[in-house]
Structure 1
Amino acid sequence: MSEAQPVPQVTGRMFLYEKPELLTKEEHGELKVKQSDSPFAFAAKARAIPITYSEIPSAMKNFPLIFMSKEQPQMLAVTGLYDDINLFVGDDGKWEDHTYVPGYIRRYPFGLANESEGDRLAVIIDRAFDGFATNGDGAPLFKDGELTEETARLVEFCKGYEQDRSLTEQFVRVLQDNELIQAQTAQYTPIGSSDAVDFASYFSIDEKRLNELPDEKLLEIRKSGMLPLVYGMLMSMGNWRLLLQRRAKRFDLQDGAIFKPLATN
């Protein structure tokens, strides 16, 4: 008798996924999913969310768009300051109306991850999601041993996101090759004061370096179609001030308290 093959496991960690599991009909064939009453509570403590390059035109309207670091330039949308609080998720676990929801968030509780055996991407779910159940109301993930149409649609969204993420790496590589990702500082001048306050340090596109690029380098970026996205990231820096105002309004902060963690107020 042949031995049973071990079930592949998910390797590493996934940001915001508490209990990622490889989606299989053997383990999850009876599982159902329904809308959570607080669908974005899982992201309530996230101060930054990964985004892809194609999201820049939408995300630039609400968030400062930065990079994790010069060496690890993962693109991020900043959603909070000082505290582990996402200023776009309310106490009810819902995302603020009329603001952009990043694709990384919209795909949850599904996603793709590397299997422990080989480099193949596998579909995963966060089993800690409170919308999963084995009884009661909800849409089944499987029917007759196959993914349901709805589940398959969600999986396709995850695949599209991963493809977009690969293209984002190309975009970032162009920025790195031209040394455009540099350390930056966000400043704010309070009303009635002439002294600017440094309130955030981050990595983003250096506008001065961009303007100093040789014409042939700038032309290469323009022909690649990336130049509007570069300017989109630069324009998103105006959202730092709006983020401060959002924080001050939410927690009724005044004067210097705006620039301090809540625990020290």
Structure 2
Amino acid sequence: MTNNTAVQVPGSRDPAAQSRPPLPMFYQRPSPLDRSRHQTARLRAPSDVDFAALANSLPVMVEEFTLAARDFPILFTDGPVCMAIALLGLRQNQNLFLAERDGKLAWRTECYIPAYVRRYPLVLMETDKPGEFTVCIDEAAEFPEGPAIFESGEMSKAGQEALEFCRAYQNQIVNTQAFGAALQDNGLLDRYNAEIKLESGETFNLTGFLAVNPAKFDALSDEVYLEFRRKGWIGLIHAHIASALNWQRLMALTTLA
């Protein structure tokens, strides 16, 4: 059996959404956070991650590279905006880093949980005014065991911390896009197709992703190398290249799934 898996930026898969900006993955009904409308809303409890079960890839920010590179291959998307992603599974709609524990799906205890998961159900979304964002909550999310966002009509401590996390995450998106653009502008990214064959005979053809070419990185001019070093990007490139070791881990998890 051959499976063709296209690596792409997580977003809405609803064909009806093609005429409007795609919703971020997981978010079905994002609405501006309002203390009256959402007075009983709750945040995600640490154990609530089953909503990520169908995500075979997720964005990772540059601040996460060191931790994410221990567990997942880090790739870059081949599109108008070059974003870094962690590959979580070889099959479509399969996250190999969730496992059943105590009767429910949980993230594997020894593995890093991407900030994209931890941010949910809040998100900063751009308003009609370019460059202006508002905090939204996915009204389709239900986390009865999570901490309350509001208490007695005021933002709770947990709510305040979640909002700060959301704002910090948005800044990380900007930094990560700048990093990806610099890799592209300096010709360091190559397009790759990966064919992976398991002992069972099942074959996976992965397409649509970019990765740093180590030879091109080694040939980087001193001027550009020093600029990358000043920006803290050299370590990120090394982490990305080292993360390729996790392809073997994905293959082993796929065999067990």
Q: Shorter-chain TM-score: which interval?
A: 0.7 to 0.9
2:35 maps to: 25
Is 1:129 aligned to 2:141, yes or no?
Answer: yes
2:99 maps to: 90
Offset at 1:64?
0.6
Amino acid at match of 2:231: S
CA distance, structure 1, for counterparts of residue 154 and residue 193 of structure 2: 51
Offset at 1:73?
1.0
CA distance, structure 1, for counterparts of residue 43 and residue 239 of structure 2: 37
**Aligned pairs (5 A) from 1:54-133:** 54-91=63-100, 92-116=104-128, 119-132=131-144
CA RMSD for the aligned pairs? Answer: 2.6
Amino acid at match of 1:180: L
Whether the 8 Å contact between 1:70 and 1:182 is mirrored in structure 2 is no
Offset at 1:188?
5.0
TM-score under structure 1 normalisation? 0.78
2:8 maps to: none
The range that moved more, 106-115 or 96-105, is 106-115
**Aligned pairs (5 A) from 1:192-203:** 199-201=205-207, 202-203=209-210
Amino acid at match of 1:181: L
Tell which has more relative contact order, 1 or 2 (C-alpha 8 A, sep 6+).
Answer: 2
Decide which structure has greater strand share: 2
Q: Which protein has the larger Cα radius of gyration, Structure 1 or Structure 2?
A: 1
Amino acid at match of 1:218: Y
The range that moved more, 111-120 or 238-247, is 111-120
Report SS of the residue matched to 1:35.
coil
Is 1:231 aligned to 2:243, yes or no?
Answer: no
CA separation of 1:118 and 1:177: change in aligned 2, threshold 3 A = closer
2:256 equivalent among 233, 239, 249: 249
Structure 1 residue runs without a partner (length 5+) = 1-9, 192-196, 251-265
Report SS of the residue matched to 2:179.
helix
Whether the 8 Å contact between 1:107 and 1:154 is mirrored in structure 2 is yes
> What is the number of residues matched between the two proteins?
232
Whether the 8 Å contact between 2:122 and 2:166 is mirrored in structure 1 is yes
